A and B are shown apart, each in its own frame.
Chain A
Amino acid sequence: GESVGLHLPTLSVQEGDNSIINCAYSNSASDYFIWYKQESGKGPQFIIDIRSNMDKRQGQRVTVLLNKTVKHLSLQIAATQPGDSAVYFCAENIDPGGGFKTIFGAGTRLFVKA
């Protein structure tokens, strides 16, 4: 069915290290993927997106990788900072014919140790 899942519920990294957050998706027809960051007490915020015709996209300190063969995407955060501590969600755009939906995964909580 429609689902976007995450491999790890929590991730703890040392400040300054790189973080990698993984996500598996199930719908082969999905053509657009987004990573969101949710800080405590706030709504999710867009980080970076990628379309299915790409396998890599870079932003400021963040990179998203898409592997359509195994239906996997990852978010890499370079030089992780305390302000990066949050829950990260991958999301998948699905249009199964009943209307477009953005489906979120369960989330990974990132802890950054000073």
Chain B
Amino acid sequence: DSGVTQTPKHLITATGQRVTLRCSPRSGDLSVYWYQQSLDQGLQFLIQYYNGEERAKGNILERFSAQQFPDLHSELNLSSLELGDSALYFCASSPRGDSGELFFGEGSRLTVL
């Protein structure tokens, strides 16, 4: 158990809909990262937050947004969903935002029908 909690574990929705994925980092970790993993693919970096502020951005679509709250949990919002958005979405946390090991949650599996 990495200490990172993601909800929901599974989510099935329809095209055009909007969903919110939630992540609680390890106790004490200030940085949260979001990754997308499509079937049998690598992990695509989406975005990173550090202590409530956006720190780094990857290839995140404009339909996607994220935020980190004062209690350090984070949410990833996916809107106008398309079939191609079906994937595993991982959250990771780390103590700082500049280097080091990432601790991953178990992921949220999104299926868009």
Contacts and interface: CB of A to CB of B under 8 A. Distances in A.
Contact of A32 (B58, B99, B107): B99
Interface in A62-99: 89, 93, 95, 98-99
A53 B92 CA distance: 26
Interface residues of B, number: 28
Interface residues of A, number: 22
What 5 A-B pairs are tightest by C-beta distance, nearest first? A99-B56, A43-B104, A104-B43, A106-B42, A46-B101
Contact of B104 (A44, A101, A107): A44
B48 interface: yes
Contacts of A100: 48, 55-56, 97-99
A58 B103 CA distance: 21
B19 interface: no
Given A101-B45, A101-B48, A101-B58, 7 more contacts: A32-B99, A43-B104, A44-B43, A49-B100, A99-B48, A102-B45, A104-B35
B25 interface: no
A34 B101 contact: yes
